[in-house]
Amino acid sequence: MSFFKFIDFHTHPFLSEDNNICKHIESANMSVSRTKEIYEKLGKTKICGSVLSKSLLDKPDTKWEDVQKLNDLALELEKTYNGFYIPGFHVHPKFIKESIAEIERLSKMGKKLIGELEPYRFSWGELNYASKEFYEILEAAEHYKMVVSFHTKIDDEVAQNQIDQMISRFKNLTFVGGHLGPNWIILRHLKRFSLNDNFLVDVSEQGLTRHGTLRRVIDVGGKERVLFGSNFPASHPGMWAGAVQLDQDITDDEKEYVFYKNAERILGVSLD
Amino acid sequence: MKKYRIIDFHTHPFTNAYTNICVNQGECDMSKELSKSCLTQLGVEKICGSVISPSIRKHKPFLWEYTEELNNMALELREYYQGFYIPGFHVHPGFVKESIKEIERMDKLGVKIIGELVQYMSKWDGYNYASKELWEILEVAEHYGMIVDFHSGDNEEGMASMDEMVKRFPKLILVGAHIGGDSSLVHHVKRLESSENYYVDIAASGLGEYGRLRFLMDRFGKERFIYGSDFPTCNESMFVSSLMFDDLFSEEEKEYVYFKNAARLLNIKD
Ligand SMILES: [Zn+2]
Ligand SMILES: [Zn+2]
């Protein structure tokens, strides 16, 4: 069924069970090769995103080695998937020097995507998106023209304000807010479109679930500021892709931008 | 794309802003007419469900009339939609006598579905699904062979009260609406085990978790799960896409969930 054509901007591909954030791994019949098969059945597709580790969630002090190991796994998967997967990398505000060196290393390899960053999985502790430690890293990211995808579904006004501060401070850096979220966070995203012209959102997870949300986000941000994302393997990409494709309030032209044209533009890649 | 025959068991049709629960209604074109064309284009042949209003809670004092008004709107919409909409109506444990009378009235009018009952939106203050007042009403519902669809997302105490209800009424067809989160899943499993007449409608939350419905169907088979979208609060195109593009489900399973299970319960012939 070659029905869709999209770049899934928000995924977390996995090698081991520790990397797999699906809650029903056994029922969902998952493996490294199956991931590609699932997408191939949907159509012409590519995926992006960072590799995660469930065991880090319970560790109070993430070490730089843990972070870099996931980045190396992403590179390994990139090889395995041979053009299907565009890797995303982690940086960490507790490890400024290492993070900047990592940006340099990856930039030399032609990589462009940082994230999705998920602070709660990597014990950022007191540090946050508006910390000066993180800003130092973002300066390097800006210098190397990286795209920064970051988790935004944080149920806390203070954290939402920190996101606003970060994207206002780095107006030349391309940011992608991961997930639309519940309605009150969507309203924050809508305001962010005017804080930074290079701020985009991806439609993964909660938010797209509501009737009319995509229409509303495009009406405010424009068709060039919204990226398709599914949060695979937590979710099935077909359900999210169908939500966009079958939405009768969205034009075909808008669908093309959401599905792949915007990702192609910001990452400098081509789906074809 | 293959089109499936679909009965959307969980919707909340509306007549105006008072009964339209879509948070983005200012952003998109919405009307009775458009609801139908938008759903039929996706393959939906019939919709079911209750008319609800989030504003109803604000009434002080809270009278039975407010609930009855929604039920009457459902009857009006049935008239308007001419066979496309199978109405569901509300009962209320705060009004036992009135609710029983309402079941009798609706039975005479050929209405078979109670619900979706949405306790948090309907001012059930002090009552839950294990309240003896509700059980009095459910005895009558059972007598008339009604199907009861209820909002199954709640705190632990609320969900435990639903477990008790399902256990107490093994002959009544009870449908828990929404698969829901991790804790909700545990309660669904318990209820599916305790009554053969317990079903789950898969509208809204929970279906997005990859593999969750597969997990349930592996344990309980293809006949206990009913398609629903929770339109217009939820995105009908997303929920229609849930099984359609997922190769974890066989064509036969998709047909049961999208159509056959609801058709069987509602006595809809092809
Ligand atoms: Zn994510
Ligand atoms: Zn509902």
CATH of the domain at A210: 3.20.20.140
A6-17 pLDDT per residue, tens: 999 999 999 999
B74-100 pLDDT per residue, tens: 999 999 999 999 999 999 999 999 999
* In a domain? residue A272: no
A2: confidence class by pLDDT, cuts 50, 70, 90: low
Q: Which residues of A touch B232 (CB under 8 A)?
A: 211
Reported as type and span, the H/E element at residue A210 is none
Both structure tokens of A261: 């044209």
Q: What is the mean pLDDT of chain B?
A: 95
> Would you call B204 an interface residue with chain A, using a CB distance cutoff of 8 Å?
yes
* In a domain? residue B1: no
Q: Quote the pLDDT of residue A1.
A: 45
Q: Which residues of B touch A183 (CB under 8 A)?
A: 23
B27: confidence class by pLDDT, cuts 50, 70, 90: confident
In Å, how far are A95, A163, A270, B182, B270 from B21, measured between CA atoms?
Answer: 47, 30, 40, 25, 32
> B182-220 in b/e burial notation, b at 16+ Cβ within 10 A?
eebbebbebbbeebebbbbbbbbbbbbbbbbbbbbbeeb
Q: Quote the pLDDT of residue B176.
A: 98
With an 8 Å Cβ cutoff, are A245 and B240 in contact?
A: no
**pLDDT tops 80 at residue B270:** no
Distance between CA atoms of A148 and A145, rounded to whole angstroms?
A: 9
Distance between CA atoms of B56 and A85, rounded to whole angstroms?
A: 50
Distance between CA atoms of A203 and B200, rounded to whole angstroms?
A: 27
Q: Quote the pLDDT of residue B2.
A: 85
What ipTM describes this predicted complex?
0.95
With an 8 Å Cβ cutoff, are A245 and B237 in contact?
A: yes
B10-21 pLDDT per residue, tens: 999 998 888 988
> Which amino acid belongs to residue B49?
G
* In a domain? residue B101: yes
More confident residue, B61 or A242: A242
B157-195 pLDDT per residue, tens: 999 999 999 999 999 999 999 999 999 999 999 999 999
**Please, is B33 exposed, middle or buried when counting C-beta atoms within 10 Å of its C-beta (0-12, 13-18, 19+)?**
exposed
**pLDDT tops 70 at residue B103:** yes
Q: Quote the pLDDT of residue B64.
A: 96
Specify the number of domains making up chain A: 1
Report pTM. 0.96
More confident residue, B55 or A255: A255
Average pLDDT over residues B201-214: 96
Average pLDDT over residues A91-95: 98
* In a domain? residue B183: yes
Ligand nearest to the CA of B177: 2
* In a domain? residue B132: yes
With an 8 Å Cβ cutoff, are A208 and B1 in contact?
A: no
CB-nearest to B210 from A22, A209, A219 is A22
* In a domain? residue A40: yes
**pLDDT tops 80 at residue A30:** yes
Cis ω before B170 (30° cut-off from 0): no
CATH number (domain holding residue B89): 3.20.20.140
Residue of A nearest to B208 (CA): A235
Average pLDDT over residues B238-251: 96
Range(s) of the domain holding residue B76: 6-266
Cis ω before A87 (30° cut-off from 0): no
Ligand nearest to the CA of B229: 2
Residue of A nearest to B245 (CA): A238
* In a domain? residue A250: yes
Specify the number of domains making up chain B: 1
B238: confidence class by pLDDT, cuts 50, 70, 90: very high
A54: closest CA of chain B, how far (Å): 17
Average pLDDT over residues B143-154: 98
Q: Which residues of A touch B235 (CB under 8 A)?
A: 208-214, 243, 247
Q: Quote the pLDDT of residue B30.
A: 84
Average pLDDT over residues B224-244: 96
A127-182 pLDDT per residue, tens: 999 999 999 999 999 999 999 999 999 999 999 999 999 999 999 999 999 999 99
Range(s) of the domain holding residue A69: 4-267
The CA-based angle B95-B101-B104, given to 5 degrees, is 140
Residue of A nearest to B27 (CA): A216
